[in-house]
Amino acid sequence: MSVRRVLMLLAISIGFVSSIGTAGQTAREVRRQLRSNRTAVRVEAVKASEKLAPVEAIRILDKAMLDREWEVRQATVIALGKVGGEKAVDLLADGLYDWNLNVASLAARSLVDIGNPLVIEKMVRLIKKGNFIKRANATAVLAAMKYPGAADLLLGLLEDPDPEVRANAANAMVLSKDPRALAPLIKVLDDKPKVRAGAAFALGFLEDKAALDPLLKCMTDLDRTVRANAAASLGRLRDPRAIDALAAALQDKYAQIRYNAAEALGMIVDKRSVDALYGAVQDRNAYVRMITAKSLGRIGAPQAIPPLIQLVRDSDMQVQLEAVLALDQVGGIDDRVIEPLIEAIKTDWYSVGYAATVILKKATGQDFGVDYGKWNTWWLLNKDKRR
């Protein structure tokens, strides 16, 4: 490839010039570069096409959407978002099904950026007739759009005859956060499991206490996804009346439900939340114990110190680290934490030991770095004096 061609593509791409010769010559040159064996050259050709007349750009980008390399397709969906128009919307809708998640997500982003009635119409068609992946991405696009009427369409789709459509519409309400969705979402809590699950999840994002009782009812649902989503939403409501139901959920046989319940309890700053989280300190799943430590730290009450000390001594290093970091958030740190924190310095994971020394320095006024021997010697000499 000649230096002239490279300079031409770069100039068009970054906007120094809008054309070289006639528009036809520029388009021919870009198309030639798009046939290059080098991925980087094809990417630059796609970027350069943005400066062409829309008709020419679309012809080039249509072919680029079929490129074997995801980097080229990624540049293409970005360029299509800038070019816009009906054909661009159609191509981007196809991009929602790309095997590469970066390409699919950027196609969705470009559709949101275009944000006109053409996009809404296309997304509604995909929600009703597309495959599962396209339906999911189309609902995400509609939810993220600030275009007037998108929320109305989602509310209408909650009453669609197809349960898959209703489920996707319910999930999409997570991003729209339209307060008008409260009653329709509560209504579909008696629907099919997928629809109930989507509604239970979306209700939390409305942050309306009127959803409390319906969500509490969902905590005994036979479907585990409904229970898990309801637990997450109860945390977002931050209502102490949910503590008993969330505490009971810590005994659920499914780890995701226990995880969501423990996380939700951390969002409800109440002494009873600490008491409830005691039940998760010895959970058989390390991720549940980890989120329990985070939640105890988020609550920040001195009553959280005893369970956090247990978690500092956990066999899982990630749990240990979260417990140590949580202790730094708890008010009223006292000498009860010194010995377990000194023991934590011996762990094989440097991050745990370092975090422990930061808190030890605050609690004792001493600074021995991550030297376990010096900390232990100091403690043996001083622990009786500090009582």
SS (HEC) of 169-214: HHHHHHHHCCHHHHHHHHHHHHCCHHHHHHHHHHHHHHCCHHHHHH
Q: Which two tokens stand for residue 268?
A: 């409800």
Q: Which two tokens stand for residue 56?
A: 């020419």
Q: Are 196 and 188 in contact (CB under 8 A)?
A: yes
At 98-152, the pLDDT tens digits run 888 789 888 988 998 888 888 888 888 887 776 667 777 787 787 777 666 777 8
Q: Which domains does the chain have, with CATH numbers?
A: 1-148 (1.25.10.10), 149-237 (1.25.10.10)
Q: Are 333 and 300 in contact (CB under 8 A)?
A: no
Low-confidence ranges of the chain (pLDDT < 70): 1-25, 130-132, 146-148, 331-332, 387
Angle between helices 255-267 and 224-237 (to 10 degrees): 10
Residue 203 is predicted with a pLDDT of 95
Residue 5 is predicted with a pLDDT of 47
Residue 115 is predicted with a pLDDT of 82
At 355-370, the pLDDT tens digits run 999 999 988 899 999 9
